[in-house]
Structure 1
Amino acid sequence: MKRRHFAASAALATLAPWLAAPAPARSLMPPPIRTRTGRLMQLSVLDRDSGRELPLHFHEGEYWVAGRPGARYALRVHNLQGERLLAVMSVDGLNVLTGQRASVDQGGYVLDGGERADVAGWRKSDDQIAAFEFTAPGDAYATRTGRPEHLGVIGLALFRERAPLPPPAVASRSEEARAPWAADAARAEAPAASTARQAERSRAPAGPAPQLGTGHGAREHAPVSRTQFTRAQSRPDELIRVRYDSRENLIARGVIPAPRPSRPQAPQPFPASPSEMGYVPDPPPRR
């Protein structure tokens, strides 16, 4: 299936060389916050209510996102290649197109070279989705359908497209039936059983019980069209995994540093800003 979109200085006396203006403050720019991951195709998690991409926190070899209960979100993808790519997408271990237990050999979204798209919900038809929204585990779509084992994980299995096959050589009628290019095309579409079993065996590492899942939200208009795609190989060319949970759980896991406790403000010896510095003014007149 194919989606289309988508410093003022103070005056000082020159007779006193030991008086010096304060040195200009250095600009300490914080390191950039990463919001996207992926080599062939970039993936980010978009908070649809605020319109911003959520920060990715890298911890022990995995990317994590802190979700906000009740917030609608979308999977924002950007094909970085100059060719079509197939993205088989899963949320909470379920295929976002069919709702089935996810496997890398299932269908997905096809993006043209350089195309960007927001996948914002469970596909209900060619014209509608049910919005993704962060929710309590008991209200998650996977839980409500009896499959809560993989809450809190988003997956993309990416596939390159097989180059068009050359036309068959001119042959007699008896030779046309056993032309080797026809057999090659059938094998290219056969799923790799070992890859599917390996994906099914993968399990999330131990940690606090998840506090978030993805709900089956309100219906929205989101039309798509259908297309044909032949994979260059049965194994994914890239596999992207992003986990999500509540901010409290990510702090408990050590993914996000715990906030420092607030302390009373201590008296400061130089509370004035540089722009306020000058000579000592006269006190106000006595009353």
Structure 2
Amino acid sequence: MKKLLSLLAASLLLGCVSVADAGHTVDVAVINRSTGERLQTWRYEGRLYVAGRPGDRYAVELNNRSGGRILTVLSVDGVNAISGQTAAASQSGYVLDPGQRSEIAGWRKSMDEVAAFYFTALSDSYAARTGRPDNVGVIGVAVYREYVEPRVDYEVQSLSKSAPAAPMAMPQGAGANRDEATRAQPMEKRLGTGHGERIAAPTQSTEFRRASSRPSEVIAIYYDSHANLVARGIIPAPHRPAQPQPFPGGFVPDPRG
């Protein structure tokens, strides 16, 4: 069994309305650590998008909705958030207990610290600064269920054999190339994720055996600036009158003080 990093159990407040992507096994949301808010998600042509603002620190919130332990392999801009390697679903990840909700706030630097995730210009992103700018602008989570030893019923064992398990399929669109509109944008105008200050984030190792060599699901959340997402038609543009209005105001406001 391969040893993988495990999150310490942490209870988070549930007062906010969730705008996370509801996967079958895990919910994923992007948290603005500067304000504590969950970023609103926008669905466009089958993909999920959030709007970031340069300089804001953020975290990826993971919520295990299943009744068993799961392994979540987190990639940011095509880079594994634990090892710093070019991301692959087979790499190390975070193990969550049933019902556990936790936040990943940065690049893992040690068993005690991470370097903060923050939105920044693509050229300043960790991926670009390490020579890997091609996949900047997407957060990915590959989810694995834990292998459970089959229960043996000795009374019927001689009568029948278990049917072979069906192969797990990758979600539709996983691994597809990003749209040409995104690639065509100038690098300096797109957002990426930087390598920020060290923050405390203790964790520990645990053993985890995957139930399959393929993830049970892959969740992707794309991000860019609000202006770029509006320009691409992902976020609806605010309504503006066709002609200037001579009296745009409303009723008389109360005086100050």
Please report the TM-score for the alignment, with normalisation by the length of structure 1: 0.70
Which one of 56, 65, 69 corresponds to residue 84 of structure 1? 69
Which of 1 and 2 has greater Rg? 1
Instruction: Provide the secondary structure at the position in 2 that maps to 1:227.
Output: strand
**How many residues are aligned here?**
219
Change (3 A) 1:264 1:116: same
The structure in which a higher percent of residues are strand is 2
Cα pair 1:130 1:216 within 8 Å, conserved: yes
Query: How far apart in 1 are the matches of 2:91 and 2:247?
Result: 61
Identity %: 45
Matched, 1:203 2:177: yes
Q: Distance in 2 between matches of 1:5 and 1:121?
A: 17
Instruction: Give the superposition deviation at 1:116.
Output: 0.5
1:47 aligns with 2:28: no
Q: Aligned pair 1:147/2:136, yes or no?
A: no
Is residue 34–residue 56 contact of structure 1 (8 Å, CA) maintained in 2?
Answer: no
Q: Give the AA of the match of 1:239.
A: V
More helix by share: 1
1:90-127 superposed Cα distances (whole Å, 9 cap, x missing partner): 00000000010000100100000000100000000100
- Note the 1:103-142 alignment, pairs <5 A: 103-142=88-127
Distance change (3 Å), C-alpha of 1:265 and 1:124 = same
> Are the equivalent residues in 2 in contact too, given 1:90–1:96 (CA < 8 A)?
yes
- Once the two structures are TM-superposed, the CA of residue 164 in structure 1 deviates from its matched residue by 2.9
How far did 1:5 drift?
3.8
Unaligned runs of 5+ in 2: 11-16, 153-167, 253-257
User: Whole-Å Cα distance in 1 between the matches of residues 55 and 41 of structure 2?
Assistant: 19
Q: Name the amino acid aligned to 2:91.
A: Q
Any conservation in 2 of the 1:86–1:160 contact (CA below 8 Å)? Answer: yes
**Letter of the structure 1 residue corresponding to residue 206 of structure 2:** T
Q: Deviations over 1:11-39 (max 9, x none)?
A: xxxxxxxxxxxxxxxxxxxxxx8611122
CA contact (8 A) 2:18 2:38 kept: no
CA shift digits 1:1-60 (9 cap, x unpaired)? 111242xxxxxxxxxxxxxxxxxxxxxxxxxx8611122100000000110100000000
Q: Within 2, Cα distance between the matches of 1:166 and 1:35? A: 38
- Contact (CA 8 Å) 1:84, 1:111: kept in 2 or not? yes
| SS of equivalent residue, structure 2 residue 7 | coil
**Displacement of 1:148:** 0.3
* Correspondence for 2:197: 218
* RMSD between aligned residues: 2.6
Question: Does structure 2 retain, via aligned residues, the 8 Å contact 1:5–1:117?
Answer: yes
Please report the TM-score for the alignment, with normalisation by the length of structure 2. 0.78
CA contact (8 A) 2:119 2:194 kept: yes
Secondary structure of 2:30's counterpart equals strand
Instruction: Give the C-alpha shift of residue 265 in structure 1.
Output: 6.3
CA distance in 2, matches of 1:229, 1:243: 29
In structure 1, what is the equivalent of residue 86 of structure 2?
101
Is the contact between residue 136 and residue 213 of structure 1 (CA under 8 Å) also seen in structure 2?
Answer: yes
Gaps in structure 1 of 5+ consecutive residues: 7-32, 168-191, 273-287
Match of 2:20 among 19, 29, 36: 36
